[in-house]
Chain A
Amino acid sequence: MQILGVIASGISGNLYFASYDSIATQTVGGSPVSSVTFNSIPAGYTHLQIRGYAQESSDTVAIRFNSDTSNNYTTHYMTGDGSNTASGHYASPTMMYIQTSYGASGGSERFGTFICDILDYSNTNKKKTIRSLTGCANPTVNGKIFLYSGEWYSTNAVTSITIQGSTGVNLTQNSTFALYGVKVA
């Protein structure tokens, strides 16, 4: 049985959606890759969501839309590392951050993870906004948790999404990214 939205046991205030469809998934195989891309994203949904877990030897996984590599993005964040909290922003980066990672301390079985929402992605009257909940819990030292938000300074419909390490390092084996389409009523 498919649910009609996040019924969440009758809790008020939850999101309701008419469908939540799996569009495509990319999993990195035996050879690390610099990026993965979802192309030809259909326009028939209201929002997109990417759920994933990734590993790379730097620090952060990032996202670009429509192959735009210019300074057309912004990212804000709140974070905690088990001891301290912080908030900040990147004013004009060339990508938006969506996932924190173990970096060089990660093993082959440890992955950071994230849920990234891309809102109203095909509306050509809006600049596109995202939010991402992400974290990695380290078994021996402090983990990291981030709540990111970002904006792409373009009103173009999002038709492709590229995911990569923020410093250009490779995504390693078993990193997995699943793209979903969400329709509201």
Chain B
Amino acid sequence: MPSTYTPIAHNKLTAATATVTFSSIPATYTDLIVVANTGQPTSTGEIYLRANGDSGSNYSYTVLSGNGSSASSNRAISTTVMFGGALGINFGLYTFYLFGYSDSVIYKPILARSDEAILNTNVIATGIWLNQSPITSLTLGQFNSGNNNFMNGSTFTLYGIKRA
């Protein structure tokens, strides 16, 4: 059986940074996974993912989250980012799963999952990038943020999975 789940790129920040971009993503895989261990230096915010630098209103997402006391659900349609979870002044874990990213037929479905211990948030989210183009770059950044930087020491890893 062909072994897969291969690290494509890894980025460890040596200074607080606003965005992290994986570019020139090869089309040789079928799924992508982005794992981020990051947080906010001074405030709170929300992490986002964008494909191919597209900052247009071409994303929609639905979220189910818990805060240690209650669950809630919200959504955004025709928005400019794919939501990935809440950021606090702490290193949380954020994962984005992208399916069929090099396919040129489907709109790109995305799942996301995150955990942030200080804010007590667990989040799962489903999203879609309304574009049939293959994904060749991914950018992570922040919105609804008091400080638009990711913490120094944050790590971002891109994995590729190739189905048989």
Answer yes or no: B106 CB below 8 A from chain A CBs: yes
Bound complex: CA A133 to CA B96 (Å): 12
A-contacting 9-mer, from B15-23, B74-82, B136-144: B74-82
Q: How distant is A114 from chain B, measured CB to nearest CB, in Å?
A: 8
From 29 to 87 in chain A, residues with beta carbon under 8 angstroms from any chain B beta carbon are 42, 51-53, 78-85
Answer yes or no: A125 CB below 8 A from chain B CBs: no
Q: How distant is B49 from chain A, measured CB to nearest CB, in Å?
A: 13
Main secondary structure of the interface of B (DSSP, over half): strand
Contact B106 A53 (CB under 8 A): yes
Nearest to A45 among chain B residues (CB) is: B1
Contact B12 A19 (CB under 8 A): no
Bound complex: CA A180 to CA B3 (Å): 9
Interface size classification for chain A: 35 or more
- Given the interface contacts A135-B111, A145-B63, does A113 sit within 8 Å of B126 by beta carbon? yes
Chain A residues lying within 8 Å of B47, measured Cβ to Cβ, are none
Cβ 8 A contact of A21, one of B3, B73, B125, B156: B3
Chain A residues lying within 8 Å of B45, measured Cβ to Cβ, are none
Bound complex: CA A138 to CA B61 (Å): 7
Answer yes or no: B64 CB below 8 A from chain A CBs: yes
- Given the interface contacts A83-B73, A137-B109, does A176 sit within 8 Å of B100 by beta carbon? yes
Contact B1 A181 (CB under 8 A): yes
B-contacting 9-mer, from A4-12, A90-98, A151-159, A161-169: A4-12
Bound complex: CA A42 to CA B60 (Å): 39
Q: How distant is A16 from chain B, measured CB to nearest CB, in Å?
A: 12
- Given the interface contacts A137-B61, A181-B1, does A3 sit within 8 Å of B126 by beta carbon? no
* 13 A/B residue pairs, CB under 8 Å, sorted by A: A10-B37, A85-B72, A109-B106, A110-B107, A113-B126, A135-B62, A137-B128, A139-B60, A139-B107, A140-B60, A142-B62, A142-B75, A145-B62
Q: A82-B63, A84-B73, A137-B60 are in contact. List 12 more A-B contacts (CB 8 A).
A: A3-B159, A9-B155, A20-B5, A22-B3, A25-B164, A51-B31, A81-B75, A134-B111, A138-B62, A138-B128, A142-B62, A145-B64
